[in-house]
Amino acid sequence: MSRTSDEVRTQLSRIVALGYPDVADMSDAAFVALATPLLDVLDNVEIDDGVLLVPTRELVSPESLIARTSIERNAGFTTMPPRDIASFLPTEFAPPEGPFYLVIGPHTGTAYTNREPDVARKLIDSDGRLPLALEEGLAIATQHPDWLVKKNGFNLLGSRSADGRVPSIWMSQGAPRLGAVWPTSKHTWLGNAYCSARRGVSLFA
């Protein structure tokens, strides 16, 4: 078993403990079984960069997940209605096949603070990086809430609503908060999160 496999299994155990199977309306065992093909592949794969396990929205709806994040027992929250959150869809890419996939080299995008989302998106693209989507940002807040404390909040430029807004996650009242910003707005305290790659089961074959 590889170190990468160990890390992903730890992340899987964490989201099971947080009630993700209930969100998916299935038993813990059935939920874990869906990740088995990916885990089996990872037993023989070592990834040097950090990895992030992401369940697709077909498995767990993103509007159900912010409340399952926390910082020092302060539960994450949002003031947006569920249908508003569900409207943030991936732009210019299709996530790898589900129900789980990996984000490789996730980062909160501190190099892109104080940039309008539209400008940051062009910079991320030119640097050969991939902007994170809503589900991927929620995975960061779930698996690495300390990043919000130690680094900064971040925009998720890989998702966008029909009216042009992009989702964001930041610290508010000592807890993770899910909100949104306009593509032309600039915030000195928000990064623009990115990764180096996304990988599903077949992409390791």
Reported as a single tens digit per residue, the pLDDT across 98-136 is: 899 999 999 999 999 999 999 999 999 999 999 999 999
| Whether the Cβ atoms of residue 171 and residue 133 lie closer than 8 Å to each other | no
Report the sign of the C-alpha dihedral through residues 72, 73, 79, 85, in that order.
positive
pTM assigned to the model: 0.95
Range of the domain at 107: 3-204
Total domains present in the chain: 1
Percentage of the chain lying above the pLDDT 90 cut: 85
Q: How many angstroms separate the first and last alpha carbons of the chain?
A: 17
β-strand partners of 180:
167
pLDDT of residue 203: 61
